[in-house]
A and B are shown apart, each in its own frame.
Chain A
Amino acid sequence: MTAVLESQGITKSFSGIQALSDVSVSVTSGERVGLIGPNGAGKTTFFNCLLGILTPDAGTVTFLGKDIGGLPVHKRARAGIGRTFQRIELFSDTSVREHLLIAERVHNGTGAFWKDLLGFGHPTRDEISRCDEVLELLGLRELGDEPIEALSLGQGRLVEVGRALMTEPSLLLLDEPSSGLDREETTALAATLREVQNEKGFAILLVEHDVELVADFTERLYVLDFGSLIAEGPTAETLSHPAVRTAYLGTLEIDTA
């Protein structure tokens, strides 16, 4: 097993408040890893440090053996980190297939300007069939021509996944994919994701607060609280870790008197 993502000692503080201290997370290829923690634990900050939206005060991020700490967001995406968003981010006034086509073109396209100008920029049959393959995989084939505004939240999230898949990522970061979905939709999303992952073989890092989804979906787990890791290991074991239970559920004191 080779490490896809390796973050070492990520530390970040905002004007005196320690948001992350010495967080080290690693994801090996094909693995499903979860990162959980109560609100304000630093999940989003850590996520942003991985993606290059924030620059950590200390620590390194290695991706496929290369230090990507200095790269801007879009270059990390090109290196092979795909992602979805907690608050769904789609391109308005654009069809579902078009979302995938854009990603496909950015990933594989060459020599844009003059090619475009001379009329060679239209999507090729090849590109369209590759997009349709992914749409098929996600069960969105029927919706290919729909404007994005016509989709439900769950479908929209799948479009985000599809868009990320077109860039052939080695690692997919899922930012609270269950937010806004009900239990049924969440289960369906997890099933689809697992299926797609089996097909494509990328690794998944799931940031989530829905413990049920995490327990069901991930193999390994990291737990953040107050900016530092309080537990890590196989999911089931880690979830039953006393520190995790305290952090998550709090200590319950029943006054029996």
Chain B
Amino acid sequence: MMFAFAGEDFFRALLQGTPPGTVYALIGLGFVLTYKTSGVFNLAFGAQAYISAAMFFKAREDWGWSIVPALILSVFVLAPAIGLILERLIFRNLRTASAVSKLVIAIGLSVALPALFELVAKYKPVAGRSPTGIVPNGSSVFYDPFGVYPFSRDELAQIVVAVVAMLLLAALFRLTSTGLAMRAVVESPRMTELAGIPADRISAFAWAISSMFAGMAGVLIAPRLNTLISTDFLTLVIIAMAAAAVGRLVSLPGALIGGMGLGWFIALFNTYLPRWSDDHTWLKPFQDNLTPSLPFVVLFGILVFWPAIRRSIDATDPLAGVDPPPPALASLTRHPRLTRQTRLFGLVFFSYIGWVVFTQADIFWLDAVTSAVILATIYLSITVITGFAGQISLCLGAFAAIGGFTVFQMADRYDMSVLLAALIGACIAAIVGVLLSLPVLRLGGVWLAIATLAFAFFFDAVMVKFSWVGGGPTALLTGTKVPRPILGPFDFGASDRSFLALALVVFVLVALAVIQLREGTIGRTLRALRGSEVAAESIGISPARARIIAFAVSAFIAGLGGAMLAMHQENVDYGRNFTPFAALFWLVLVVSLSARTVEGAAQAGAAFALFAALILDGALFTWLPFITEDNLPGIFPISGKWRFVLFGLTAIQFARHPEGMVEFGKRRATAKRNARYYARDAERAVATEGGSS
């Protein structure tokens, strides 16, 4: 009897896991398809799914369209159109870019696309308006074919649509020459072209199909969400990658098995998870949050424990060598006179800004400037890990949150000095960074980035909820109170100005340390590693050791910055500051400006905290003569979402200008002057020689 009951449980779990499993398989397949045909780790997949889901929702609810036209518009027109545009405008030109550059571009797109869609389509997520599925009464009519688990009509629709889509894909690959050509394009677009097949068109076709899969998955999965919010769809990417990773990113059947397996695994896990009792209250946050975080755990586990994944990393085109080398960057050496000029200008400029801020600024501007300074500190962690080491770390938000939470916990529980607590928090973040990097170090490149993303989501879904991390239920009620620091005679809580001074000191100290590291052995080692791992090894550099150091330093800086931010806001506002999406935007911002210099981090901090107030709200223009707040042109205030669009799209330049757009512009501008000064030097040398002889 008992056994039969357990069997029924098992069967029910399998049935329950089937509808989500088929959708997971669908996105896994789409992900593999894009990766196979263009080598792009399409992190924007979630964004594409979101756009179709939101389009469907908008057409249905706001425009009152019926299901079929709404479905055609969102999945069969909009989704492939986006895929084609991305392929044509961006990825076609990047065939030979490194996998990491392509990843950064996809991250930029995942930040920009949802914002762009919301702006263009005037879509706004409203809480309480749940999305509906592709069949009428999808969530209220049930069928129970086996007498164990009642399927809703939505769930049946998910299974049917996903299975049909997969069969069509299989037929395409098996039965048509286009499918064969697609497989060839994966290996080498150039070689395929030599054989007379238009690789571009094939690749565009693959993008259209995979985008359609993404859109379909988004529409199918939407009824499971309460409100359509773009950040929720980021998780879809993780699910897609977990499914795709099972097939080592290249096998379509593998992705199918991975997706279905993930659906079943989650349902089984849910069924057989022991229920918590009063004796084990500490288990509750795990139990409540482990299920939604399972895809992250599974993905991380696959990356760490499955050696086969490592071998699939570098799929290089055998004909890649025929490509022209990347354009040379402008010379790094500057004429001493140019350096003097820049320094003088910087000194005058910043003295003036400092004077204005410290004497004139009201509470709003002080808050904005302080935020900018602290964010700039946090962004230095990106300078170290991405700018110096060339690694993409997507969990810096989690490290910053660790710093913030430590300060809160230490101050709350032990009444510890917050500055000391900030240092402890930074150290804890560094230790976590090292522990995280150890298992994935050998992966390198894209996989390392994905593993950190999985960790960021895990931290987001599970760790934050613990009372010893995020404060638990009490913090939800009373907030996470963080006091401003007092150091000897200095009370940095006395005024916002004094705290800004402290934030500036911290930033300058960290910036100096980063500059010293860059000029020293560590910086050089990391630069070598960024340039060429094999060459770095060939002169005796241990990549693992260098990366551990980079991870630790970057996590330390992020933790310290996070602690400062918590002190500034007198509260650890995780949802506003430290979510995985926030960290993605940080990266996009820093990379699009300049990831390799300290000024880049400072500019990014200013861009994050001041761009909206200065430009989008129009404050900068009210400082111009004849313009006041009253006669400000009607376009202001501009929506803050344009930030995501602007910086997200700028990040697309990463492949061509890995040093960042601002840095690129700066180098180009200085190159001319540099040349002029050197030319003048030469003239003068000739003149003096001529005079003496």
Q: Say whether A91 contacts B326, CB under 8 Å.
A: no
Q: Say whether B535 contacts A87, CB under 8 Å.
A: no
Whether, in the assembled complex, B328 has its beta carbon less than 8 Å from a beta carbon of chain A, the answer is yes
Whether, in the assembled complex, B639 has its beta carbon less than 8 Å from a beta carbon of chain A, the answer is no
Q: Say whether B538 contacts A112, CB under 8 Å.
A: no
Q: Quick one: CB contact mask for B513-548 with A, threshold 8 Å, 1 for yes?
A: 100110111111101101110111111111100000
Whether, in the assembled complex, B333 has its beta carbon less than 8 Å from a beta carbon of chain A, the answer is yes
Whether, in the assembled complex, B549 has its beta carbon less than 8 Å from a beta carbon of chain A, the answer is yes
- Knowing A112-B521, A163-B539, say if A149 contacts B326 (CB, 8 Å): yes
Q: Say whether B331 contacts A147, CB under 8 Å.
A: yes
Q: Say whether B538 contacts A73, CB under 8 Å.
A: yes
Whether, in the assembled complex, B488 has its beta carbon less than 8 Å from a beta carbon of chain A, the answer is no
Q: How far is the CA of A103 from the CA of B531 in the complex (A)?
A: 13
Q: Say whether B521 contacts A150, CB under 8 Å.
A: no
Q: Taking the nearest CB of chain B, how far is it from the CB of A155, in angstroms?
A: 13
Write the chain A residue with the least CB distance to B543: A74
Whether, in the assembled complex, A231 has its beta carbon less than 8 Å from a beta carbon of chain B, the answer is no
Whether, in the assembled complex, A95 has its beta carbon less than 8 Å from a beta carbon of chain B, the answer is yes
Q: How far is the CA of A115 from the CA of B517 in the complex (A)?
A: 9
Q: Taking the nearest CB of chain B, how far is it from the CB of A64, in angstroms?
A: 15
- Knowing A118-B516, A167-B539, say if A149 contacts B523 (CB, 8 Å): no
Q: Say whether B523 contacts A121, CB under 8 Å.
A: yes
Point out the residues of chain B lying under 8 angstroms from A115, CB to CB.
Answer: 520-521
**Which of A73, A83, A93, A121 is the one whose CB lies under 8 Å from B519?**
A121
Whether, in the assembled complex, B145 has its beta carbon less than 8 Å from a beta carbon of chain A, the answer is no
Contacting A at CB under 8 A, from B2-37, are: none
Whether, in the assembled complex, A141 has its beta carbon less than 8 Å from a beta carbon of chain B, the answer is no
- Knowing A92-B531, A147-B332, say if A113 contacts B522 (CB, 8 Å): yes
Q: How far is the CA of A78 from the CA of B524 in the complex (A)?
A: 17
Q: Quick one: CB contact mask for A132-158 with B, threshold 8 Å, 1 for yes?
A: 000000000000011101100000000
Q: Say whether A92 contacts B326, CB under 8 Å.
A: yes
Q: Taking the nearest CB of chain A, how far is it from the CB of B534, in angstroms?
A: 6
Q: How far is the CA of A101 from the CA of B541 in the complex (A)?
A: 13
Q: Taking the nearest CB of chain B, how far is it from the CB of A178, in angstroms?
A: 15
Point out the residues of chain B lying under 8 angstroms from A241, CB to CB.
Answer: none
Q: Say whether A116 contacts B522, CB under 8 Å.
A: yes
**Which of B328, B513, B539, B596 is the one whose CB lies under 8 Å from A106?**
B539
Q: Say whether B538 contacts A91, CB under 8 Å.
A: no
Q: Say whether A167 contacts B540, CB under 8 Å.
A: yes
Point out the residues of chain B lying under 8 angstroms from A113, CB to CB.
Answer: 522, 549
**Which of A78, A95, A118, A119 is the one whose CB lies under 8 Å from B332?**
A95
Q: Taking the nearest CB of chain A, how far is it from the CB of B579, in angstroms?
A: 31
Q: Taking the nearest CB of chain A, how far is it from the CB of B190, in angstroms?
A: 16
Q: How many residues of A contact B (CB 8 A)?
A: 46
Whether, in the assembled complex, B325 has its beta carbon less than 8 Å from a beta carbon of chain A, the answer is yes
Whether, in the assembled complex, B659 has its beta carbon less than 8 Å from a beta carbon of chain A, the answer is yes
Q: Taking the nearest CB of chain B, how far is it from the CB of A120, in angstroms?
A: 7
Write the chain B residue with the least CB distance to A146: B331
**Which of B521, B523, B531, B535 is the one whose CB lies under 8 Å from A93?**
B531
Whether, in the assembled complex, A85 has its beta carbon less than 8 Å from a beta carbon of chain B, the answer is yes
Q: Say whether A102 contacts B517, CB under 8 Å.
A: no
Point out the residues of chain B lying under 8 angstroms from A121, CB to CB.
Answer: 516-517, 519-523
Q: Taking the nearest CB of chain B, how far is it from the CB of A220, in angstroms?
A: 24
Q: Taking the nearest CB of chain A, how far is it from the CB of B444, in angstroms?
A: 13
Whether, in the assembled complex, B329 has its beta carbon less than 8 Å from a beta carbon of chain A, the answer is yes
Q: Say whether A102 contacts B331, CB under 8 Å.
A: no
Whether, in the assembled complex, B634 has its beta carbon less than 8 Å from a beta carbon of chain A, the answer is no
Whether, in the assembled complex, B489 has its beta carbon less than 8 Å from a beta carbon of chain A, the answer is no
Whether, in the assembled complex, B196 has its beta carbon less than 8 Å from a beta carbon of chain A, the answer is no
Whether, in the assembled complex, A4 has its beta carbon less than 8 Å from a beta carbon of chain B, the answer is no
Contacting B at CB under 8 A, from A97-113, are: 98, 101-103, 105-107, 109, 112-113
Q: Taking the nearest CB of chain A, how far is it from the CB of B674, in angstroms?
A: 12
Q: Taking the nearest CB of chain A, how far is it from the CB of B223, in angstroms?
A: 46
Q: Taking the nearest CB of chain A, how far is it from the CB of B366, in angstroms?
A: 31
Q: How far is the CA of A175 from the CA of B526 in the complex (A)?
A: 25
- Knowing A149-B326, A164-B539, say if A122 contacts B534 (CB, 8 Å): no
Point out the residues of chain A lying under 8 angstroms from B535, CB to CB.
Answer: 85, 89-91, 160, 163
Q: Say whether A101 contacts B329, CB under 8 Å.
A: no
Write the chain B residue with the least CB distance to A109: B521
Whether, in the assembled complex, B327 has its beta carbon less than 8 Å from a beta carbon of chain A, the answer is yes
Whether, in the assembled complex, B691 has its beta carbon less than 8 Å from a beta carbon of chain A, the answer is no
Point out the residues of chain B lying under 8 angstroms from A93, CB to CB.
Answer: 329, 332, 527, 531, 596, 658-659
Whether, in the assembled complex, B147 has its beta carbon less than 8 Å from a beta carbon of chain A, the answer is no
Whether, in the assembled complex, A68 has its beta carbon less than 8 Å from a beta carbon of chain B, the answer is no
**Which of A101, A106, A146 is the one whose CB lies under 8 Å from B540?**
A106
Q: Say whether A106 contacts B525, CB under 8 Å.
A: yes
Write the chain B residue with the least CB distance to A160: B535
Q: Say whether B328 contacts A117, CB under 8 Å.
A: no
- Knowing A74-B541, A89-B535, A149-B328, say if A116 contacts B521 (CB, 8 Å): yes
**Which of B520, B541, B549 is the one whose CB lies under 8 Å from A120?**
B520
Q: Say whether A116 contacts B517, CB under 8 Å.
A: yes
**Which of A91, A101, A166 is the one whose CB lies under 8 Å from B530?**
A91
Contacting A at CB under 8 A, from B646-693, are: 658-659
Whether, in the assembled complex, A77 has its beta carbon less than 8 Å from a beta carbon of chain B, the answer is yes
**Which of A90, A98, A106 is the one whose CB lies under 8 Å from B541?**
A106
Write the chain A residue with the least CB distance to B524: A102
Q: How far is the CA of A10 from the CA of B540 in the complex (A)?
A: 24
6 tightest A-B CB contacts, nearest first: A121-B520, A91-B531, A116-B520, A149-B328, A89-B535, A112-B521
Binding site for B on A (CB under 8 A): 51, 72-75, 77-78, 82-83, 85, 87, 89-95, 98, 101-103, 105-107, 109, 112-113, 115-122, 145-147, 149-150, 160, 163-164, 166-167
10 contacts between A and B (CB under 8 A): A77-B539, A77-B540, A92-B326, A93-B658, A103-B539, A116-B521, A118-B516, A121-B517, A121-B521, A149-B329
